[in-house]
């Protein structure tokens, strides 16, 4: 494999909604360029970048994957990203490794939610981009309709640079506005072979209109060009292309291309324009000024190989076998078998120049997000801002004895996909997983079984309820046991009263006259606390209450700490039910973002979940809703929100506090808890 310098590299991410044709386009570009040996397709599971069993079975991308194409003495690193929002972290990661993007929009479906989400990240990163209208050969494809859709939903700065000849099954040619040539494609063309012919008469008016639009849009971004344009002068192609590139870098225009990946129509032009219009790494500012800076943006676990690390080299040069310094973990790593990816294949290279993307297997202490550098010039890049988890579920093993394997498997899956998190909650007695949605969780379970032999299933997470008291009560706890020999005797009187929410538990020693020796009073406290862990309403810990120990008695011989601890337990059980105990449920502050046209449905759903709406405000293109909702009512909320908003809505949850649960809820929770303990016993 030829080694390319920084000026001859383009790092391009392909983004868009699921089923818009990204993976087919990446596969076809690598094929047309001659860098890939076959032209695959989704149906047969033979595309370059969808090669995992999960992806071939589901026929859509799940993972970020890499390919490359060589064109015009330039290496194009092609970063294929998933389109469904459950895997949106892969899109964010891919865009942080790229210098530009091709936004793929279906010629039949137009702009969809995945397109809009990716566009928002592109805007945030200020990356130059082009839009490619794909699937132009499919039934109901309509270039004009999709162009209008892009103007309305993505940007008014989009400018067509190509005009298709025919739509749908009649699609057979493309007029290029840069050259003024009409390319007619031959049926059965393997690699986009075409014939240059005069522009058909019926397309002349359209060509003139779009050509004027393009020239005016580009000229208006440059003072010199606008003067020449207004004077009616011809602008040389090379200067015009340069002006387009500068306008793209400044975010002033977005060129619009079209074609068909399965037929390979329009791909030679796209390859050429990616070389001509997109910046090389040499033109981009590195994230840090150091002799060597690289960042790991993806870790893959491959059978028979182990972990494969994908990284972007921002500055410096790497040679096969070089040792680098991992600044995150302060450890050295040797980069043996330095490679570049072509789908699942790794092609070994002698060296990589600054700006290139490479891979290496079997690193010991390097993980996704880590920075590597030189030991004498350490650098730690800021982490890639991945999307927050939107869904939580509990997971249990189907077969006893697989608990340890479950934890190990989940840890490995987190390495591959940092948007997935897990934890064991000792309070709930459950392993909780956090991710982007139901589809994400299904993928996790399938990988657990296929890769690590763990058979697991999802279950509803338990809720960490609490109990407290609303009134005052007092009473006795007396433990007396005589069974021959030394007996047991402990006697205490306690008073229970409420404390403010969040104030916690307090114990007050109010004993006077030594009716309980001072050394035994702390045992009463321990007994109360132990008993309070199991509550009196539904078996949940009691919080925010004051216990005053004000009277009691003891026996010179039979009293001891254990006896008074038992007295404290009995006193709590006797008194707490009389102090108007109530169940407290955890509340969550929900921030939900939704389009204006479904705002009423979103708010209605939150209200139906016993939510209290705090307010709404405009936030970019969406409306942000703030609400306080009981945690128990939010199970699978992300799925419902996606359904209501057709995938355009997102939400975030943060713990808010505890509040008294309604009586019917308390009764149901108590009954459920009693049933669960009956089954367990």
Q: What's the pTM value of the predicted model, to 2 decimals?
A: 0.90
Q: DSSP string covering 515-529, please?
A: SS-GGGHHHHHHHHH
Show the beta-strand stretches assigned E in 378-486. 391-397, 421-425, 430-435, 456-459, 466-469, 473-481
Looking at residue 680, its pLDDT comes to 62
Residue 587 has a CB neighbour count (10 Å cut-off) of 20
Q: In what order do the strands lie in the sheet with 421-425?
A: 421-425, 430-435, 391-397, 456-459
Looking at residue 681, its pLDDT comes to 54
Residues in the chain: 681
Closest CA to 642 of 16, 114, 121: 114
Q: 478 - beta bridge partners? A: 491
Q: Tell me which DSSP letter residue 374 carries.
A: B
Q: DSSP string covering 7-76, please?
A: GGEEEEEEE-STTSSHHHHHHHHHHHTTSSS----TTTT--SS--SHHHHHHTS--S-EEEEEEETTEEE
Looking at residue 235, its pLDDT comes to 86
Q: Are 536 and 573 in contact (CB under 8 A)?
A: yes
d(CA 153, CA 256): 14
Please report which helix (H) or strand (E) contains residue 359, including its range: strand 357-361
110 three-class SS: strand
Q: Which residues lie below 8 Å from residue 651, measured CB to CB, with a gap of 6+?
A: 390, 590, 591, 592, 593, 637, 638, 641
Phi, psi of 271 (to 5 degrees): -60, -45
d(CA 417, CA 436): 11
The full set of domains in the chain, from first to last, is: 7-205+254-282 (3.40.50.300), 293-373 (2.40.30.10), 391-447 (3.30.70.870), 467-579 (3.30.230.10), 583-665 (3.30.70.240)
Query: Dihedral through CA 544, CA 545, CA 546, CA 547, nearest 10?
Result: -130
CA 364 to chain centre: 25
Show the tokens assigned to 619. 């936030």
Q: Which residues lie below 8 Å from residue 420, measured CB to CB, with a gap of 6+?
A: 389, 413, 414, 433, 434, 435, 436, 440, 444
Low-confidence stretches of the chain (pLDDT < 70) are 484, 679-681
d(CA 118, CA 608): 32
Show the tokens assigned to 582. 């109530």
Q: In the chain, helix, strand, coil percent, each to 5?
A: 30, 30, 35
d(CA 15, CA 31): 19
Q: Are 494 and 579 in contact (CB under 8 A)?
A: no
436 three-class SS: coil
| Per-residue model confidence as pLDDT tens digits over 377-432 | 999 999 999 999 999 999 999 999 899 999 999 999 999 999 999 999 999 999 99
What number of CA atoms fall less than 13 Å from residue 535's CA on the CB side? 24
Closest CA to 648 of 108, 133, 88: 88
Q: Are 67 and 36 in contact (CB under 8 A)?
A: yes
First to last CA, the chain: 66
Q: Are 479 and 567 in contact (CB under 8 A)?
A: yes
d(CA 376, CA 53): 43
465 three-class SS: coil
Residue 228 has a CB neighbour count (10 Å cut-off) of 15
Q: Are 298 and 64 in contact (CB under 8 A)?
A: yes
Looking at residue 384, its pLDDT comes to 95
- With helix as H, strand as E and coil as C, how does 68-95 read? EEEECCEEEEEEECCCCHHHHHHHHHHH
What number of CA atoms fall less than 13 Å from residue 270's CA on the CB side? 34
């Amino acid at each position: 494999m030829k080694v390319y310098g920084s000026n001859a590299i383009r790092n391009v991410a392909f983004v868009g909604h699921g089923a818009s044709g990204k993976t087919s386009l990446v596969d076809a570009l690598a094929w047309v360029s001659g860098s890939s040996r076959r032209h695959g397709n989704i149906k047969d599971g033979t595309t370059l970048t969808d090669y995992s069993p999960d992806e071939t079975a589901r026929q859509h991308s799940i993972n970020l994957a890499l390919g490359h194409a060589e064109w015009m003495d330039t290496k194009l690193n092609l970063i294929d990203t998933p389109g469904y929002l459950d895997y949106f972290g892969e899109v964010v990661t891919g865009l942080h490794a790229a210098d530009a993007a091709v936004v793929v929009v279906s010629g039949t479906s137009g702009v969809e939610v995945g397109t809009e989400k990716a566009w928002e990240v592109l805007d945030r990163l200020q990356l130059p981009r082009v839009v490619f209208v794909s699937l132009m050969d499919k039934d109901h494809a309509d270039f004009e309709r999709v162009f209008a859709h892009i103007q309305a939903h993505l940007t008014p700065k989009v400018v067509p640079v190509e005009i298709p000849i025919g739509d749908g099954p009649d699609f057979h040619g493309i007029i290029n506005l840069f050259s003024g040539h009409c390319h007619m494609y031959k049926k059965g063309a393997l690699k986009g072979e075409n014939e240059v012919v005069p522009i058909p008469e019926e397309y002349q008016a359209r060509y003139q209109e779009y050509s004027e639009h393009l020239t005016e849009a580009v000229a208006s971004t440059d003072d010199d060009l606008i003067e020449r344009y207004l004077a009616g002068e011809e602008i040389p192609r090379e200067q015009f292309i340069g002006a387009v590139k500068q306008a793209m870098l400044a975010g002033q225009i977005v060129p619009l291309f079209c074609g068909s990946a399965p037929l390979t129509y329009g791909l030679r032009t796209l390859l050429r324009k990616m070389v001509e219009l997109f910046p090389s790494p040499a033109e981009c500012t590195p994230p840090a000024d150091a002799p060597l800076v690289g960042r790991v943006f993806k870790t893959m676990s491959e059978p028979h190989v182990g972990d494969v690390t994908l990284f972007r080299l921002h500055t410096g040069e790497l040679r096969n076998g070089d040792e680098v310094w991992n600044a995150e973990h302060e450890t050295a790593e040797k980069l043996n078998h330095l490679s570049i990816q072509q789908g699942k294949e790794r092609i070994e290279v002698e060296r990589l120049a600054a700006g290139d993307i490479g891979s290496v297997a079997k690193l010991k202490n390097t993980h996704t997000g880590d920075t590597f550098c030189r030991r004498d010039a350490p650098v730690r890049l800021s982490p890639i801002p991945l999307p927050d988890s939107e869904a939580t579920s509990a997971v249990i093993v189907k077969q006893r004895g697989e608990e340890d394997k479950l934890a190990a498997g989940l840890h490995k899956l987190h390495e591959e996909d940092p948007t997935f998190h897990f934890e064991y909650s000792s309070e709930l007695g459950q392993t909780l997983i956090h991710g982007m949605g139901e589809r994400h969780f299904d993928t996790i379970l399938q990988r657990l079984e296929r890769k690590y032999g763990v058979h697991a299933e999802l279950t509803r997470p338990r809720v960490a309820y609490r109990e407290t008291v609303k009134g005052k009560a007092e009473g006795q706890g007396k433990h007396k046991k005589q069974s021959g020999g030394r007996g047991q005797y402990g006697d205490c009187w306690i008073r229970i009263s409420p404390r403010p929410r969040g104030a916690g538990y307090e114990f007050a020693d109010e004993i006077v006259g030594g009716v309980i020796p001072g050394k035994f009073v702390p045992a009463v406290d321990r007994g109360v606390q132990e008993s309070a862990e199991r509550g009196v309403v539904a078996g949940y810990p009691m919080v925010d209450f004051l216990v005053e120990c004000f009277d009691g008695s003891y026996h010179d011989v039979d009293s001891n700490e254990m006896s008074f601890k038992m007295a404290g337990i009995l006193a709590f059980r006797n008194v707490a039910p009389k102090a108007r105990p109530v169940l407290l449920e955890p509340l969550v502050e929900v921030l939900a973002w939704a389009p204006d046209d479904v705002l009423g449905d979103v708010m209605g759903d939150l209200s139906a979940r016993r939510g209290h709406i705090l307010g709404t405000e405009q936030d970019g293109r969406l409306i942000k809703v703030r609400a306080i909702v009981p945690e128990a009512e939010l199970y699978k909320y992300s799925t419902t929100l996606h359904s209501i908003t057709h995938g355009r809505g997102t939400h975030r949850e943060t713990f808010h506090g505890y509040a008294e649960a309604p009586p019917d809820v308390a009764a149901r929770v108590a009954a459920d808890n009693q049933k669960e303990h009956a089954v367990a016993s």
